[in-house]
């Protein structure tokens, strides 16, 4: 009996791991602000979030929420631009060159942030890094999916999510150590915290050059011989191996049939029901991916602990955020096994239900803690927030990127993933820029808003998402097929038979 892990080779795992370093950097950028915003005497004083008052210590400035609204989404605004840029480079220079370009931009963005001394400079650095994230976060899951056998495509796709969770954990750990160990030079404290980002950025810019272009992209450019060599290389077999030859012939035949229709135009995308329907689905999924409130917890959990739960920020806040991220990281790993067993749709659906329950519980416990002033309810709330992170890492963080990387054939993949990426960053920007203000005026009632989006995510997944597990990438048209596609079947069948005849001759 062939097990799914028998399809994994050392080179395949290495390629997926190197590509996912891009997700580590994204997770680091997303996770570091939570702790850095709590550096009152260093980062907070430098960038106008706090001011020192004798006998009372560091106090929030009146425009603290506005400053956070500027700093936080500057990264995601860059991500929108990067996602749009992917549209023009992914099919022209390739998946590999796009990742290499993203690694260079990430490195530059990190340097600018470390050297910044004003909010404008900091935001420019985060904007540049955001451009890189927009490129790599679209390309990385696709790069992995195009190399992976269909039997383990979801399993390998989870590596991308593990990288994201790992980045958030290491960012929190690094910044917590900066708070605890650098206590005399406040400038060095926040500078060192930002400089930690250069660790994964440096690793990525070095190791990304060891990757090879995906066979599917090379086939799209009519480089069949190189495509066959790369496929054999990643499978750690010879090009003459029967299994490699069979996989390559099937891939080549289906791709050339698909590409015989030409690349998908914007007119076709919006006029073809099945394509437009899928674009709407991934756009809503990417938007809900953020609107369920993960960034509200990820960016502001330390402030939630202090404001609503009565937990000391200097003593516990940073360590609690770090523990939250390490638990989420560990709990992402089981998804590598079960996403192929349970499928994408059930994980998304019931994950949304669990996230909604957690948000309602966080609201209730904050309310009780505020009314009773009993710390026990605060610590229970911390546990519920941890549970939220576990459910998110196992469900939406893992399954959304896998589902989206699978849903579109190669002829329409660049445009569709660009649109999806833009909506993800729009959702991230909405949550990141508004949460601090919502908490200022609505307090813990803010969490009921995110609970409502979790309910919407549950209903949407139930009615609109279809299972992609085990379906070849070239056959996704059949999943959301319509009359237009059925009318082209006869044409495809004839071309398909022609390619099969030629393949048999070879």
The better pLDDT of the pair 272, 231 is held by: 231
Cα distance between residue 400 and residue 421, in whole Å: 11
Query: Structurally, what CATH architecture does the domain formed by 4-211+261-471 represent?
Result: Up-down Bundle (1.20)
Reported as a single tens digit per residue, the pLDDT across 396-445 is: 877 887 787 778 877 777 788 788 888 988 988 888 788 888 888 898 89
pLDDT of residue 6: 62
DSSP state of 152: G
Distance CA 191, CA 217 (A): 41
What is the torsional sign of CA 383, 387, 390, 392?
A: negative
Whether the Cβ atoms of residue 362 and residue 447 lie closer than 8 Å to each other: yes
Q: How many CB atoms are located within 10 Å of the residue 438 CB?
A: 17
**Cβ-contact 272, 8 below 8 angstroms:** no
pLDDT digits (tens, 9 = 90+) for 282-330: 999 999 988 998 888 877 777 787 777 777 766 676 788 888 888 888 8
- Confidence band for 337, pLDDT divided at 50, 70 and 90: low
Cβ neighbours of 302 (radius 10 Å)? 23
Domain range summary for the chain, segments of one domain joined by +: 4-211+261-471, 214-260+481-506
Cα–Cα distance for residue pair 239/231, rounded to 1 Å: 8
pLDDT tens for residues 237-252? 888 888 888 888 888 8
Measured between alpha carbons, how far is 186 from 198 in angstroms, rounded to an integer? 20
């Amino acid at each position: 009996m062939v097990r799914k892990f028998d399809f994994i080779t050392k080179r395949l795992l290495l390629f997926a791991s190197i590509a996912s370093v891009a997700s580590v950097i994204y997770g680091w950028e997303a996770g570091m602000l939570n702790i850095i915003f709590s550096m009152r005497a260093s980062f907070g004083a430098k960038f106008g979030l706090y001011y020192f008052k004798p006998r009372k210590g560091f106090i929030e400035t009146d425009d603290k929420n506005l400053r956070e609204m500027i700093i936080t989404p500057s990264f995601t605004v860059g991500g929108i631009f990067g996602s749009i840029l992917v549209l023009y480079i992914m099919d022209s220079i390739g998946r590999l060159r796009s990742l290499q370009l993203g690694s260079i931009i990430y490195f530059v963005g990190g340097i600018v942030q470390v050297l910044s001394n004003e909010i404008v400079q900091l935001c420019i650095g985060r904007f540049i890094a955001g451009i890189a994230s927009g490129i790599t976060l679209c390309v990385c899951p696709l790069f992995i999916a195009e190399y992976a056998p269909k039997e383990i495509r979801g399993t390998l796709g989870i590596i991308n999510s593990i990288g994201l969770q790992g980045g958030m954990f290491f960012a929190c750990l690094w910044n917590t150590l900066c708070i605890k160990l650098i206590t005399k030079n406040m400038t060095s404290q926040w500078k060192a915290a930002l400089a930690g980002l250069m660790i994964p950025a440096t690793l990525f810019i070095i190791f990304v050059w060891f990757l090879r272009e995906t066979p599917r992209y090379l086939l799209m450019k009519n480089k069949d011989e190189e495509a066959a060599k790369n496929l054999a290389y990643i499978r750690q077999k010879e090009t003459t191996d029967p299994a490699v030859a069979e996989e390559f012939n099937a891939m080549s035949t289906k791709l050339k049939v698909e590409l015989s229709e030409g690349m998908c135009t914007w007119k076709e995308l919006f006029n073809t029901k099945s394509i437009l329907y899928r674009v709407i689905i991934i756009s809503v999924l990417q938007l809900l991916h953020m609107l369920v409130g993960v960034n509200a917890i990820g960016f502001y959990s330390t402030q939630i602990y202090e404001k609503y739960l009565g937990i000391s920020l200097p003593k516990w806040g940073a360590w609690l955020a770090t523990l939250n991220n390490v638990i989420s990281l560990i709990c992402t790993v089981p998804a590598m096994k079960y996403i192929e067993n349970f499928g994408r749709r059930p994980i998304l659906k019931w994950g949304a239900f669990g996230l909604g329950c957690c948000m309602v519980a966080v609201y209730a416990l904050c309310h009780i803690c505020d009314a009773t002033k009993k710390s026990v309810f605060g610590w229970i709330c911390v546990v519920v927030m941890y549970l939220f992170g576990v459910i998110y890492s196992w469900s939406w963080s893992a399954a959304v990127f896998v589902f989206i990387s699978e849903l579109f054939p190669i002829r329409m993949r660049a445009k569709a993933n660009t649109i999806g990426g833009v909506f993800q960053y729009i959702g991230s920007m909405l949550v990141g820029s508004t949460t601090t203000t919502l908490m200022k005026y609505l307090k813990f009632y803010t969490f009921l808003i995110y609970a409502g989006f979790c309910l919407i995510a549950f209903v949407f997944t139930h009615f609109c998402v279809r299972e992609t597990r085990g379906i070849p990438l070239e056959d996704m048209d059949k999943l959301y097929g319509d009359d237009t596609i059925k009318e082209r079947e006869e044409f495809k069948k004839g071309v398909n038979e022609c390619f099969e005849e030629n393949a048999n001759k070879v």
